[in-house]
Amino acid sequence: MSLLSSWSPALRGLITLVVLGLSSLCGAVPTAGELNLYTTREPALIDPLLKAFGERTGVKVNTVFLKDGLAERVASEGRRSPADVLMAVDFGNLTDLVDKGVTQSIKSPVLEQTIAAPLRDAGGHWFALSLRARTLYVARELDAKAVTYDELADAKWKGKVCIRSGQHPYNTALIAHMIAKQGEARAEQWLRGLKANLAQKPGGGDRDVARDILGGICDIGLANSYYLGLMRSGAGGPDQQKWGEGIHALLPVFAGGGTHVNVSGAAVAKYAPNKANAIKLLEFLVSDEAQAIYAEANYEYPVNGKARLNPIIAALGALTVDEVPLAEISKHRKAASLLVDKVGFDL
């Protein structure tokens, strides 16, 4: 554990403020034609979006990139915070912003009409901007056509499943979704069955699942959809391209339901000095133009159904997002994490 990671979230947020030398923003007077964006997303994805926004609207965006501690940073700034828009990955982080009281409710017919209700806060505090599905990577020789999340606990997969840590947010979100749909007792039964089917101790990353299937360690595993695009496109190098092309990918569903997705999203900060421009940015980010950038730059699913998918992701077939609201799933994330420990999933 690094020294920085051993500090409290609030202290990390304060240190980040000093290191970035941006304290001069605090107490900034609202300026027409500008807004301040705090984001944990990578500059390579965000910069093209903001460039297009600036060209269309003339609004200048001042961006603060953070690795973590977003909610703590804004909370520590309080009423003096210059933040207008807060952008993060993972719906757990978005609901955390609300829980810490650093967002405000907004009304926008554009956002409400473009983003399906399960993918945004019912009170208007946050909105999904892009999606990534929890997919199955499968050995090509199996010629599998359809496997549900539930079936991963079936004994026919004993010794054949690879997966990263159960405590990783990608997996706790899926387990929380299972709890929301079927109850904690059923989720525990499923998780014990999945553990019994593991080919090796959980670990590594999603792309390692494809590598290990190709290496004959396992036959099937869970991984996010956008990694398929990153691998098959060659963006991660020739080895990863070989892994991506060496496996088959499926869009699983829950029994009687749809596919589990996680999101990137954004909220308007509680004390946003440029609220009108903040809403304008969020509305731009769900436009056909911006959604196409999400799809091409990071192989994510658009939340705007009219936007075009990247061909690698489109080849997975039609995505049917499960109907349980992300805000409801988020309530079960702590229980999901405790369940991972209870069954000794990572041991």
Tell me if domain 34-131+261-308 and domain 133-259+325-343 are identical in fold.
yes
User: Measured at the alpha carbon of residue 251, what is the angle toward residues 248 and 252, in degrees to the nearest 5?
Assistant: 110
pLDDT tens track for 208-234: 999 999 999 999 999 999 999 999 999
Q: Identify the CATH assignment for 34-131+261-308 out of 3.20.20.220, 3.20.20.60, 3.40.190.10, 3.90.870.10.
A: 3.40.190.10
226 in a known ligand binding site:
yes
Cα separation, 197 vs 200, whole angstroms? 9
| Coil, strand or helix at 33 | coil
15: confidence class by pLDDT, cuts 50, 70, 90:
very low
Whether the Cβ atoms of residue 269 and residue 85 lie closer than 8 Å to each other: yes
1 pLDDT band, cuts 50/70/90, is: very low
Closest CA to 73 of 22, 133, 136, 130: 22
Residue type, 176: A
Domain ranges in the chain are: 34-131+261-308, 133-259+325-343
Least confident of 8-12, 311-315, 322-326: 8-12
Percent over 70 (pLDDT), the chain: 91
- pLDDT tens digits, 16-25: 443 443 444 4
Domain 133-259+325-343 has CATH 3.40.190.10: yes
pLDDT in tens, 186-214: 999 999 999 999 999 999 999 999 999 99
227 is an annotated ligand-binding site residue: yes
Lowest average pLDDT, out of 1-10, 49-58, 68-77, 92-101, goes to 1-10
Confidence of residue 86 (pLDDT cuts 50, 70, 90): very high
